[in-house]
Structure 1
Amino acid sequence: MKKLCFLFIFVLSFFQALSQNDIENVSVSDFNTSSYVGNLRTSGLWVPGVVVDNTIKGSIYLFPNFNSNYIVVLKSGKSINVVNLNFNLKSKTLESYLSKDSVFQYDLDKFDYVLKNDKRYKVFNDGDLKGLSLEICNLNSIQFLKYVHLSTTKAVINPMTNVIISDAEYTQISSYFFILNGRKVKVQLKKNAVLNALIDKSDLIKEYVKTNKLKYDDEGDICKILDYYKSIL
């Protein structure tokens, strides 16, 4: 009972914070509790709690748990402190967990960034980067992002004995992207891939990397390369 009261107070407080930060006010009359997808205007929607499949190893969530300190930056520029948040890699939704029977999914179009500790995640509402992308460095017209997507490996079963040899598993796989003056470029952290993405200045970059003993597979060095690339535009 205490837990349910706490959850109710949390939800009420969070929605009050949203309304105070230029997002429409939300009330219980905005959704139909008899439906599994209640519309809460443009702020998000209620969905059934996730049923955990214990036969599959790993997690469908980006962060280890929901209980941490987050700062959500709205597109209006205002910020909200949140302590119950996670990103569902399977449905590509930002969620607050309320109970085993209730999850709230936020409208990604309302948010610009999610900050967790010293990490800054850019929020996209569509395209190849829909969801949260870790911003490794931001040079205004140039960004370097890491995007995580979910891969599911099926269980391997011995056809003779019908015994499971290896369990099914969720694996989080990272991909890298450059955003160059609004253009998204998927890139591997390899010499040829990086140089091809920055082809117009590739000769100068090769010399810069060689002189400064940088590595094409190092995230920090890639930020230095992009900073140099920007300086010679």
Structure 2
Amino acid sequence: MSNSGIYVQVPFCQTKCTYCNFHTGVVASSRFRPYVEAVCREIRGHRLLLEAVGANWPGHLRGGGVARETRSEDLAVDTVYIGGGTPSLLDPAHLQNILNAIRASFAADLTEVTLEADPETIEAGKAAAWVRAGINRVSFGLQSFSDKELLAAGRMHRRADIYRSVPSLRDAGIRNISFDLIAGLSHQTKVSWRQSLEELAVLAPEHVSVYLLEIDEDSRLGKELLQGGEKYCARSVPSEDDMAEFYE
């Protein structure tokens, strides 16, 4: 029987990054709990739907390729990715409820549970609660180690938050950390990009993803590039040639 993964979207943020075109929003924290309850209902309902229609879930075929009756033990899940948005804004109990719903609805032997997090949302007690809930991997949207670049991008965290939060995760028992960096942020230079890479290497994450800045015309930065202006530092976006060199 092959296993599958589940992605859970948490579309809430503290602020909207200038380049962001994702379906996320800044909302009152009072909306977190109703959303989590709805997600848990959907998880349970999805399992029932699969069973009702005899869905061809992975591992649901006999050796000859003939489908047989779906059983809950066939709905096997070994990885969960909770992304966003900024799901680390949720109370740890909310994350626990989501994972409990998955465990109750599928044959879930979860070997990897990833949570997307922003550095400024990390606290020692919260990180420990994540581990107790079963989270064993954290994906950090760092984007840069330069405060000037982070400020221009509308990010909430600063360089100091990165250095504070990573030890908190390690101390809590998180042994798998991923960093995201963006090549092409406003004010980014060859010097600042190399500095970010060097600082990243010192912190020694288990995984790194590097993305080229994509500017959507509907984002605040994209509109400013089209219309002119200086509020979101559109004029300080590196050239495409520089972005490509950063990425290489």
TM-score, normalising length from structure 1? 0.25
TM-score, normalising length from structure 2? 0.24
Instruction: Report the structure number with the largest CA radius of gyration.
Output: 1
